[in-house]
Amino acid sequence: MVEKHYRSLVKAVSWRFTGSVDTIIISLFVTHNFKWALSIGGVELFTKIFLYYVHERVWHKIPFGRVEEPRDKPTFQI
């Protein structure tokens, strides 16, 4: 199975949206300032999308933990 680059990008964006909401909530608790919380969440949204995408593509090239599936499934004879 081959993964396309756009799949990694979509996964990165969807994960970062979830992560950014978490960061905004934590930042709000720490700073008690909604403007600062949104600013922190907004900045890290873009930096971490890029970092996740690069991380995903690097891991895609690493064979660690991957097993080749047999191309032809054997037929069992009774």
pLDDT in tens, 3-57: 788 888 888 788 888 988 999 999 999 999 999 999 999 898 888 878 888 888 8
CB–CB of 27/36 below 8 Å? yes
Q: Quick one: which of 2, 1, 5 has its CA closest to 52?
A: 5
What is the pTM assigned to this prediction? 0.58
